[in-house]
Each structure stands twice: as structure tokens, then as C-alpha cells.
Structure 1
């Protein structure tokens, strides 16, 4: 009986892991083909970006709600529903006759993909013994981190092999069918939760609040961050979302006092440990965003051709997976808070090395491995275990969904800040080139490809070299600002971990 139970757990973990990896790859994959997709539908880059923005909004809305539904109705059932939605959404994206149709399909994809990680994590917290949870959560988190790093490179490979962006989504179909079939056969259904009525009003308030807040964040201008906060497409949405969240908290408190089943447990939100874990979730989003910009650093600061960049980034992806597994083992052995502290230390060292020593492959390898391990540790087990320690039985999915939402907010907000550093650096490129060489280039508008093309217009190789050196120095300064910011976030991760460790003693 015990052996049969272990086999069932292994199958469940394998299926959850594949599902997390499939869903995590998608946004990275599409970023590679964004220009191709925009051209095929004849839409502008600003409109085309909505294929990513809507996916982000869909994930943000779905994760806390799916987490709650998995607590109520069973994790196998919700896992299969999520995979089916993701598969249908992928098929609809590939077959999209218009751009509006594609956007709708991307939203369906996001609703399906957003909850897979939450369902898998809550399954682990509710079924595995505490001493084995770390390793299992580390494996799931490792897939999450690996997908974020591997996605853009895999997208480039698929596009070069097939010549069509449609295959980026069609490859999801057989994987989804496999997961659905074996999910029915191999995953045991968890016991349904409370029979109390679903908190419909709270669910709608939560969805509206998330939609308003995330939309406002996605409309921020990276070149004028503070000024853009006051714009009519930002401030009203952020302010409205905050008001809705206040109404939601009051409503959830009342539902809980009356013995109902709130979509977000008010008693959980009041816990200092859970609040601190959510702060770590926000910081981890900024941590991950810093890693996502490393491919651009490889191409623009180190001048590695696009076709070779994947080789440079492979160690980072592997280090992220190793970090997730290591984080799981350390969480089981030494506890979640010590593991969080270690991830912060690794991030501090790794991100500090990029502006200080990285000039070639060997120094890049050291910095990327350290930061990748730090990311893997943080995205894997420790935060999920901290949430599991805070949540009551039957609340794990909802609590994990809230953590994932906060991380998604960080992953949406910090790239805007980082992009501001890059854009600000590009505004200084033209004056720097003129001062260094006496030559004037065409406006590049923050686009590295346009910069290289403008420099290539000059016939003298020496002039080209001097221009590229001047431009690279300025571009590196933008990346340095980003890496320093990511290092500060890592310091905050470490200090927050120390705070939690001291509170436990």
C-alpha cells in the first residue's frame, strides 16, 4: 500500500513538473517571435505587446482564484481543467485569423497556465511529509526558473527550424493531451474542501482589483517612471484598484466572521509571517526580472551574436535548476529562513560581479552561475514552505496563489524600472559617439539593432570600432544600474530572511 502511494506521488510530481515547465516556457517563447507575429497581422509594436500584457494579466487574475478553487474542489480536477484550457488556448493562438482573436486566445492560455504551479505546490504541501516537501517544491521551482531562461532560446530554435511562429504554440497540444490522459490515470484526487458557498463577491472584487492594478503597472513609462504615474491610463487604475482591495479586505473580514469561506482568508492576511513572505515574493519577482535581462546584456554589452547567445546562457539555466534542487534540500535540512538568507547572499555576489568584473566568457560564467543558483534557491522551496507553515489545512492553494500574484506584480513592475535604465543609457549614446569620434549617427530610439545598423553605415573600420566602444561604455552603464538595483533587492531578501530567522528563535 505504501509503495503504491509513493508511486502515485512520483507520477503526480512528474506530471505537475511537466505542466509547470510547459506553461512557463510560453511567455519566453513568444518574446522571440513577437516581431514576426506583429508583421503577420500588420500591427504596431505597441499593439503587439498586448499579446504579452494580456497573458500577464490573465496569470495575475487566475492564480489566487485557481488556488482557492483547488482547495475547494480537488487538485486533480483543477489540474486537468487548467491543462485543457492551456491546450485549447494554444491551439486557438496557432489558428488565429485576426490579432483580436489571438489576444483572446492568449488570455485563455493564461487562465489555464497560471494555476498549474499553484496546484502542484499545494498538492505537495498537503500530501507529502514535511521532511520531503522541500525537494519536491525545489523541483517545481526549478522548472519555473529554467523555463524563464530557456524560453527565448527555445523560441529562436523553433522559429529557425520551422520558419513559422504557429509551431511555437502547436507543440503544446500533444504535451497537454499527454498530461490530461495521465492526469486522469495517475493523480489521486484530493479531498474536496468546505461545502460552504463560494465567495462570489470576493472573487469578483479580487479579479477587478488585480486587473486594475496590473493594467496600471503595465502602462508605466520606463523613460519617465514618476511622471507616468500621474497619467490618466495609470493613476485612476492604480487608485481604483487600491480602493477595491480595501473594500475586499473589509468584505473578507465580514465573511470570515460570519463563518463563510472567503476567497482570501482575512486571518491569514493578518499574520506577520505571511505578510513578510509576501514581501519576499515581491522581491523575488525583481530578482527574476534581473535574470531575464541577462540575455540582452550578453548581446549588447559583450557583443555575442544572437546565434551564440544560447551557449552563453546555458550555464545560467542549469545553475537555476541546480539552485532550485539545492534550495529544496537545504529547506528540508536547515529550514526555509536560512535558505532564503543563502539565496540573498548568492544574489548579492552574483549581481555585484556583473558590473565589476564581467568582460568575457569566464567572468560571465562565474557571475551568471552565482546569480542563477540564487534565483533557483529563492523560486523553489523556501517561500512555498513558509506559506505552507502560515496557512491552515484547506488554505494552502489560496495562500500560494496570493504569493504567486505578488511575485507576478514584482515581475511586471521591476522590468519597467530596469528598462528605464536601458532607455536612459541609450539617450546618451548619440552624444557620446559624437564626442568620441566627431561623427553623428541617426537616432536609434533605444533600439540596439538600429544602433548597429547606423554604425555600419560608416566605411572606415576604425571609426566603426571607436563608435562601438563609445556606445558600449554607455550601454554598460545602464546595465550596471540594473545589476546594482538587483543587488539591492538581494540585500533586502537576505535581511528579510534574517528577520524571519530571528523571529523564529
Structure 2
């Protein structure tokens, strides 16, 4: 059963970043400008966030197995549409449908774990299934590069048989249980969250960084930020009164969780930046898109090797030091990407540093703090908050990169400038991390009521 859940979550997570190597091919196929190209990535993240609360609530009312199957069918349908896309808007529509279906896979998996895994192993299992996202985010470009040797359309088409196999396994292994009393769905909070995130993506993506003051006054930018200014406090007001909020204000009462949430946003922005590394390699070294994905190997290999070490260090030096080391090394790697003359040596050195730094941020360290601070009764909500913040960071990073690259004289200098901006966000997160405890207490007081 757990294998079905893990593979389902992996399938959803892989498709966030698998498009990275295909971006040059998609750009050429549809003649897309650099400002709009990141929409292939951000459309998936945005609609994933929209689908998650809707399908999670439906699984409470209709059953885990049924909604898991429905999510897979929607995901496969969106994949088919993306694979058959005859224009860029149709491709974005396919990505949106894909993501909406994928949004149901993680909450169903988390709910089944909460209902079937013994309490003493529940937090650990939730942490593992959450860590799948971090690993998949970096493995996705490698898999994408392999499939790209046939056609970029195979990146989406391969999801159809994979979903069919999972459907058969889920029908046999997953429970059909529903909650005795399903909570009231936070429809208004979900709509407001979608509006706020869409306004953020649209506003940042249209800023001309060469003339920011002038672009902020344009009709394509300032209404987005006006909507953001109105939507954020309204979202907070609604969520404080919701029975089952999408963004749980109660958890954000914890200063430790607020810091972890801010760091998670920065981590998401780094992940978004890494999606565009293959395109940087194409532009820098003149290699084809399929081979460009292989330039991610040093980064991924470093992360795979260093991540278990980061987990071991948690028990010896505490999460704060591990997280701070991860942020500092990530800042160094991103800064080298932005400043060093680009050749193979500097490209791989920067990638290894980013991989080493991210090993202290993805998976165990941040989830370690989130699980402890949320308490035994709210560990699922703590995981959901962390995943939400990483996704917000991915959207922020993609929109920022689109805006910077679209304003630059050429795409390559724009990518390098945007990675420096992401490095600045990580540097800010490093400053905030000083507020983390040296060691997380094994027992803590429950969070107060909102």
C-alpha cells in the first residue's frame, strides 16, 4: 500500500521539474519569449495548489481510493492534452489539468498514512513522503533529458501508462474509508489563495527589471500588486475563522514555524532556479537539450550523497546549524553561478555547491523542525504548511526568473542575474535562521488557539 502512495506522489512531483530540459525545445516549437517560458513550470505549481484542498476535501467525503483514482485519471488526461498540444496556450491548459489531478495524490497519501500507520511511525512516514518532492524535483530533469531524446512530448505521454498501472494497484490495495464527519471545505480560502498566488505570478512576471519604476506603473503590473495587497489580509482574515483552513494560522503562531516557512519559500525559489540550469547549459555551451540535462548530474549526485549525512548531523549538532550550513553553501553556489565566467569547471563547481547546500534543506532538516513544532496532533498540518510554502517559493522563483530574463538584453545574462536574486533571498533566509533553536525540544507545549 505504501509503495502505491509513494509512487503516486513521486509521479506528481516529477512533473513539476521534468520540463526543465524540454524548455529550449518547447521555446523553439511554439516561438515562446523568455518572459512567458517559465509559465510551463508555474502553471503546474499554481494549479497543483488549487487542486490540493479541493481533492483533499472530496476524499474525506467520497473515500481515499476513489479520489486517488479520480486524481490519476485527471492527471493522465492533462498529460495527454499536453503531449498533443498544437499551441502554447493548449500546452499550458494541459499542464493546468495535469497539476489539478496531481494535487489530489499527496493529501490522499497523507490521509491514508494518518489512518493506517501506527502513531509512533506516522511522523517519520509523513516526513519521507514529503521528502519525495525534494528528491523528485532534482531527478525530474535527468529523466526529462532521457525522454527528450525521442521528443519533448514523451515527457507527458509517459504518464499515461504509469497512471494506468497505479490505477490497477490502487483499486486493489488502497482503503475506501471516509471520515465519519468530514470537515467543512474552506472554499473561500482556497479561492483567495489561488487569486493571491496568481496575482503574485502575473505581477512579478511582467516587471521590467531594466526600468522597474516605470513598469510598476503599467496596467499589466500595478493591478496585480493592488490585488495582492487586498487579497493577503483578506486571506488571513478568512483563514482565522475557517474550520479547516488551507493556510492554518494556528501553526503560524509558532515563531519557529514562521522562520521555517520563510526558509521553505527560499528553498522553493532555489528549486525553480535549478529547473532552468539545462537551458543555461544550452545557451552557454551550445549543446543540445537532451545532453543539457546531464549537466545536472553533479548537482544531483552531491545532493543524494550529502542528504543522508545532513540527516545524521541533525542528532549531533541540531537542525539550526544544519539549515544554516545548507543556506550558506547554497548562497555561495548561486553567487558563483551568477558571477564567475561560465565554463564547464565553474558550472559544475557551482552545481556541486548548490547540491551540497540543498542537502541540508530538502527532506529531513526543515521537516524535522516542522514535525516537532506542530506537535503530535498537527503533524499532518505542519507538513502541509511546509509543502505550501515550498510551492509558493517555486511560483515566486519562476515568476522572478521570467521577469528578469524577459527584461535582460539576452536570456543567458538574465538567468545569471535571476540566480543572484535567488541567492539574495537565501541570504535573507540565513539571517532569519538565527532565530531557530539550537536543538528542537522533544516535548513542547501545544499551540494555542487562534
Aligned twin of 1:411: 394
* Shift in Å, 1:308: 4.5
Matched, 1:235 2:218: no
Matched, 1:344 2:327: yes
Of 74, 83, 89 in structure 2, the residue corresponding to residue 85 of structure 1 is 74
Matched, 1:382 2:375: no
**Contact preservation (8 Å) 1:225, 1:420:** no
Cα distance per residue 1:61-114 (max 9 Å; x no partner): 334555666677765554433222111111233345666554433321121224
Aligned twin of 1:497: 433
Cα distance per residue 1:235-277 (max 9 Å; x no partner): 223322332332232233334xxxx333433322333222222
* Shift in Å, 1:284: 0.9
- Greater C-alpha Rg: 1
Give runs of aligned pairs for residues 460-499 of structure 1, distance below 5 A.
475=413, 481-499=417-435
* Shift in Å, 1:371: 0.8
Matched, 1:184 2:171: yes
Change (3 A) 1:287 1:304: same
Aligned twin of 1:198: 185
TM-score of the pair, normalised by structure 1? 0.71
* Shift in Å, 1:175: 0.7
Change (3 A) 1:364 1:208: closer
Change (3 A) 1:447 1:171: same
Change (3 A) 1:15 1:27: same
Change (3 A) 1:206 1:45: closer
Cα distance per residue 1:269-305 (max 9 Å; x no partner): 3332222222112111222233334334434445656
For the residue of structure 2 that corresponds to 1:266, the secondary structure is coil
For the residue of structure 2 that corresponds to 1:231, the secondary structure is coil
Give runs of aligned pairs for residues 228-267 of structure 1, distance below 5 A.
228-255=215-242, 260-267=243-250
* Shift in Å, 1:145: 2.6
How many residue pairs end up in the alignment?
437
Change (3 A) 1:364 1:187: same
Aligned twin of 1:209: 196
Of 9, 13, 20 in structure 2, the residue corresponding to residue 28 of structure 1 is 20
Aligned twin of 2:448: none
* Shift in Å, 1:219: 3.2
* Shift in Å, 1:174: 0.3
Q: Partners of 2:112 and 2:348 in 1: how far apart?
A: 36
Change (3 A) 1:67 1:279: farther
Aligned twin of 2:98: 109
5+ residue gaps, structure 2, are: 442-450
* Shift in Å, 1:45: 7.8
Q: Partners of 2:399 and 2:251 in 1: how far apart?
A: 31
Q: Partners of 1:168 and 1:36 in 2: how far apart?
A: 16
Of 139, 142, 154 in structure 2, the residue corresponding to residue 150 of structure 1 is 142
5+ residue gaps, structure 1, are: 1-7, 160-164, 427-445, 449-474
Task: After superposing the two structures, state which structure 1 stretch, 88-97 or 118-127, moved more.
Answer: 118-127
Of 256, 262, 267 in structure 2, the residue corresponding to residue 273 of structure 1 is 256
* Shift in Å, 1:368: 1.4
Change (3 A) 1:188 1:301: same
Change (3 A) 1:343 1:116: farther
**Contact preservation (8 Å) 1:347, 1:487:** yes
Q: Partners of 1:366 and 1:44 in 2: how far apart?
A: 29
Change (3 A) 1:143 1:31: same
Give runs of aligned pairs for residues 285-300 of structure 1, distance below 5 A.
285-300=268-283
Matched, 1:38 2:21: no
Q: Partners of 1:152 and 1:294 in 2: how far apart?
A: 13
Aligned twin of 2:155: 168
